[in-house]
Amino acid sequence: MVRRLLKGFPPAETRGPYTGIHTNGDKGLIDDGSDRITFVDEKIEFFHFHPTCQAETITSVSSSFTVVPNMITEAEEEMLMKEVEPHLKRLKYEFDHWDDAIHGFREIERSRWSQQVSSILGRIRTTAFPDSCQQLPQTHVLDLAKSGVIKPHVDSVRFCGNIISGLCLLSDAVMRLRHVELKDQVVDVLVKRRSLYIMRDEARYNFTHEILGEEESFFCGEAVERGRRVSVISRNQPTEESPVDSATQS
Ligand code: OGA
Ligand code: MN
């Protein structure tokens, strides 16, 4: 059972004029066949900082949330789906409980994988977690129906440490981060199909995260088509340094 702590359900943002794009300025190398090798700035925009964002929000989210586009190939996505689909298919999507953090989902947790999938998960783990950290043995697979939504919540600090990584399969989506106290500090993140996101420290503890439903699924005013979306989520164990939860939880 994955623990999530619901933090209210704020109304949809009014999408004002877009101002604060932040770019993941990955430097890439282009070998054009000549002797020259050109550096390019691949400005892929994954963050949309809402106009009300303070500089501190931009700094803290940019340093504690990472998106790795194309973390896996199409063939690897297919391989992962082939392995999880039979287990997911046995379950029904849950739509009943509106007070739950997630609506329209089914989920499994697994610790045994084929060798091929283990090697993909190993790659994700070395990308997302430092060697020193103790990961949870179970990988969580969350299947969100096309009409499903993940409402704003913070993952339980009792059951999960400072790092959460999610590999996104089958559909692009928009993840919205909102500061738990400063409600106008809102950042949208474009989490594309086959990308990996890594949410740590400030983004993990000080912001709620949510996946926008199909009606709300816009990034910088552009519709992001939502289909069925499966995420493969790895987490680490809480440590002694992890914050303790002040709210009551089951
Ligand atoms: C969760 C969650 C995000 C995702 O399961 O707690 O926030 O990408 N999932 O599916
Ligand atoms: Mn979560």
Could you state, in order of their start, the residue ranges of all structural domains in the chain? 3-64, 68-172+191-235
Helices (H), the chain: 55-64, 74-89, 115-128, 201-205
pTM comes to: 0.85
Select from 2, 138, 193, 211 the residue to mutate for testing ligand 1; criterion: most ligand atoms less than 8 Å from CB.
211
CB neighbour burial string for 169-191, b if at least 16 within 10 angstroms, e if fewer: bbbbbbbbbbbeeeeebbbbbbb
Among 214, 146, 202, 231, smallest CA distance to 174 is for 214
Atom index in ligand 1 nearest the CA of residue 144 equals 10
Neighbours of 208 (CB within 10 A): 24
Atom index in ligand 1 nearest the CA of residue 173 equals 8
Distance CA 150, CA 178 (A): 13
Residue appearing with tokens 């709620």: 208
Among 175, 190, 107, smallest CA distance to 144 is for 107
Distance 245 CA to ligand 2 centre (A): 15
68-172+191-235, what's its fold? Jelly Rolls (2.60.120)
* DSSP 8-class letter at 9: -
Distance 29 CA to ligand 2 centre (A): 35
Atom index in ligand 1 nearest the CA of residue 142 equals 10
Among 229, 213, 69, smallest CA distance to 142 is for 229
- Which residues make beta-bridge pairs with 208? 178
Q: What's residue 241's pLDDT?
A: 82
Residue pLDDT tens, the chain, 250 long: 666 777 644 433 433 332 233 334 444 444 455 554 444 444 558 999 999 999 999 999 999 999 999 999 999 999 999 999 999 999 999 998 777 899 999 999 999 999 999 999 999 999 999 998 999 999 999 999 999 999 999 999 999 999 999 999 999 999 999 999 999 999 999 999 999 999 999 999 999 999 999 999 999 999 999 999 999 999 999 988 888 876 544 3
Cα–chain-centroid distance for residue 156? 15
For 111, the token pair is 């610790």
Select from 150, 207, 229 the residue to mutate for testing ligand 1; criterion: most ligand atoms less than 8 Å from CB.
150
Distance 59 CA to ligand 1 centre (A): 23
CA distances from 227 to 74, 132, 145 (A): 17, 37, 7
Residue appearing with tokens 């005013």: 221
Distance CA 247, CA 250 (A): 10
Q: What's residue 44's pLDDT?
A: 58
Among 238, 26, 236, smallest CA distance to 125 is for 236
Half-sphere exposure of 232 (CA within 13 A, CB side): 31
Binding-site residues, ligand 1, Cβ < 6 A: 2, 4, 142, 150, 155, 166, 209, 211, 231, 233
Q: What's residue 98's pLDDT?
A: 76
Distance 36 CA to ligand 2 centre (A): 45
Distance 240 CA to ligand 2 centre (A): 21
